[in-house]
Structure 1
Amino acid sequence: MGYIEDLRRVIGHQPLILVGVAVAVINETGEFLLQKRQDGKWGVPGGIIELGESTEDAGRREVLEETGLEIGKLNLVGVFSGKEHHVILPNGDEFFPVTVAYVTRDIIGGVLQADGDETTEARFFSVNELPENLNPLIKNLMKQFTVTL
């Protein structure tokens, strides 16, 4: 069992504050890496940090796990939080994420492939050709990512 699962056994579905990362990976032609999740929505790679893990290491780990790509240097875009980000999962668990967002152009290895677990498809998109089912929170982050560049 993991840290969050252990907490859930104690507190049930009550809201938690969880710290996570989102990473915009941009290739040499300026396209954004997006992943299609199990719910059919597209977004950038990311997830919750593990105990003792830095947000940078979590970002690198999540990109590798979900898309098969190894990344290097990360540039901080910003930290996003607030009631507008409140999540209620299908099982009733609630949380308020604090998301540390990064952007990188530093792809140092790996082979692009969906993990088949969290990610059903992973590919690069130009800013003008983003998929229809883009996670609404990611749309706001994408604006920040392009401003940071």
Structure 2
Amino acid sequence: MGYVEKLRAEVGHRPLILPGSCVLLLDAQGRLLLQQRNEPAKRWGLLGGLMEAGERPGQVVVREVREESGLELAEDQLQLFGVYGGDRLATASNGDQFYPVITAFVARLEAGRPVISDDETLQFRWFALDAVPEPLAGTHQQIVTDFRKKMVSTDD
């Protein structure tokens, strides 16, 4: 049982502030890897998840990417992009309420193909930045929108 599950056993469905991390994972062509999950409502999103006790934000990304896709990243490959959230109450399908605070990173994938390794993932797909399906899950929409803006401004 992980940190959040143990905490939920004590507080039930009451709102919590939950830290997590995600990654804007790009391939050599600059395409973004997205994961379509069962929850919420088969929406697309970035790879990532919630922090376990004692983890650094970068460690969350490395662990979640490995668990969800089988891909290997190193913490020193991650470039901090921003911190998002804290202002939006989310409710999970089981009734748990939380305010996510997400640390977003950018990384390039040098090699490997994502493989579905759990029952929460429906599929993985690479998308050009101008062809990302919308809306994305939760805070991921704002993260990708901000990343697109940054990429356009650096191209000028």
User: Normalization by structure 2: what TM-score?
Assistant: 0.85
Deviation of 1:120 after TM superposition, in Å, equals: 1.2
Q: How does 1:42-57 map to 2 (within 5 A)?
A: 42-57=44-59
Deviation at 1:51, TM superposition (A): 1.2
Task: Tell me the matched-pair count.
Answer: 147
Partner Cα distance (1:77, 1:19) in 2 = 16
Distance 1:32 1:69 in 2: 14
Distance 1:97 1:133, change over 3 A: closer
**Counterpart AA for 2:113:** V
* Residues 61-82 of structure 1: per-residue CA shift (max 9 Å, x gap): 1112112211231011111123
Secondary structure of the 1:71 match is coil
Q: Is the 8 A contact 2:17 2:86 kept in 1?
A: no
3-state SS, counterpart of residue 90 of structure 1 = coil
Against the structure 1 CA distance between its residues 45 and 30, is the aligned structure 2 distance closer, same or farther, given a 3 Å change threshold? same
Q: Which residue of 1 aligns with 2:60?
A: 58
Matched residue type, 1:81: G
Give the distance between the partners of 2:30 and 2:111, measured in 1 at CA: 17
CA contact (8 A) 2:84 2:139 kept: no
Q: Tell me the TM-score normalised to structure 1 length.
A: 0.89
Separation (CA, whole Å) in 1 of partners of 2:81 and 2:101: 13
**Which ranges in structure 2 are unaligned for 5 or more consecutive residues?**
none
- Runs ≥4 in structure 1, deviation > 6 angstroms? none
SS at match of 2:72: strand
- Counterpart residue number, 1:90: 93
Distance in 2 of aligned mates of 1:91 and 1:43: 20
* Structure 2: distance between partners of 1:18 and 1:136: 13
**Is residue 3 of structure 1 aligned with residue 3 of structure 2?**
yes
